[in-house]
Amino acid sequence: MSIDHAPETATAAASGSNATQRFTSDKQFAASTSPERVSTLARQVLSAVHDTIREHGVTYDEYNALKAWLINVGQDGEWPLFLDVWVEHVIEEVASESREGSKGTIEGPYYVPAAPELGHDAVLPTREGEQGTPLLFQGRVTDTSGQGLGGAVIEIWHADSDGFYSQFAPGIPEWNLRGTVTSDADGHFRIRTMRPAPYQIPTDGACGKLISAAGWHPWRPAHLHLKVAASGHQQITTQLYFPGDAHNDDDVADAVKPELILDPRDVDGGQEVTYDFVLDSTTSAQKA
Ligand code: DHB
Ligand code: FE
């Protein structure tokens, strides 16, 4: 199972603390939430907790186990992981309710901005002897009327054939399987990469403890992550999946949608797939 480049020492605490560090250094917070709204949201979340306790007769032992577990989520740096796996898909659902163009889904914890720029006919950086099935992923970025969008920026990142992400698992070159691709004048792009493997969220930290205590599983189906942006249009953050993956119907992060499953075909030396992205204009009805 393990091959020479597999990061033997990948741990939940290491990738969790990388994800926490990234989140706190890369993201800008601009929420201008009024005190009334904060109060409404906080009260409703707390009421849901109180109702759960009453309904199930939660004991002091269970309360203390929860307290210890919450402390561990922070100590393991796993808040980004916890939130992106069990909460983000509903945030995304609400955020994209009024969009007409391509479906999006969760970003997850492993996006890194400013990956190398690779033009419109791109080869993602790989290691010598990178394992897996070569994949040619190509398509076109258009607006909702089908007009090609030239100069659209397609950021792509994904796990390797062992399910590990560069910059979060040790021993992988910085920009491995990450790139920034720009569509040509007609909106077309081509990306050569290697098919990612199904991904297991780290099981040796607090999130893994919850999964095993609840009898759940830690798997996400294999996926490509993408952000697609063009000026005057709404950016989409999405993931694309492969048909036949056992976890497409059973994703721990609930982030699969039928529209996001690719239809690759076998070709000499690998697979090829076409997928087009449709972007809504920024002037189309947006939620306040
Ligand atoms: C997580 C990892 C992913 O690769 C992803 O797409 C979503 C969530 C996670 O470990 O939280
Ligand atoms: Fe992922």
Tell me the per-residue pLDDT of 152-202, one tens digit each, with 9 for 90 and over: 999 999 999 999 999 999 999 999 999 999 999 999 999 999 999 888 888
* Percentage of the chain exceeding pLDDT 70: 93
Question: What is the pLDDT of the chain when averaged over all its residues?
Answer: 92
In a domain, 68, yes or no: yes
Say if ligand 1 is within 6 A of residue 201 CB.
yes
Q: What's the CA dihedral at 164, 108, 99, 33 to 10 degrees?
A: -160
We report the CATH number of the domain holding residue 229 as 2.60.130.10
If DSSP codes are grouped into helix, strand and coil, which group holds residue 207?
helix
In a domain, 2, yes or no: no
pLDDT at 288: 39
* Global confidence as pTM: 0.90
Tell me the per-residue pLDDT of 71-108, one tens digit each, with 9 for 90 and over: 999 999 999 999 999 999 999 999 999 999 999 999 99
Nearest CA residue ID for atom 5, ligand 1:
108
pLDDT at 232: 97
Candidates 199, 190, 197; CA nearest to 219 is 199
pLDDT at 129: 93
In a domain, 1, yes or no: no
Q: Which residue among 201, 225, 237, 260 is best mutated to probe the pocket of ligand 1, counting the most ligand atoms within 8 A of its Cβ?
A: 201
Say if ligand 1 is within 6 A of residue 81 CB.
yes
pLDDT at 285: 53
Enclosing domain of residue 207: 7-288
Residue 279 makes CB contacts below 8 A (sequence gap 6+) with 101, 102, 141, 142, 143, 144, 149, 152, 228, 229, 230, 233, 234, 235, 236
How many helices (H) and strands (E) the chain has is answered by 6, 12
In a domain, 100, yes or no: yes
Q: Specify the number of domains making up the chain.
A: 1
Say if ligand 1 is within 6 A of residue 84 CB.
yes
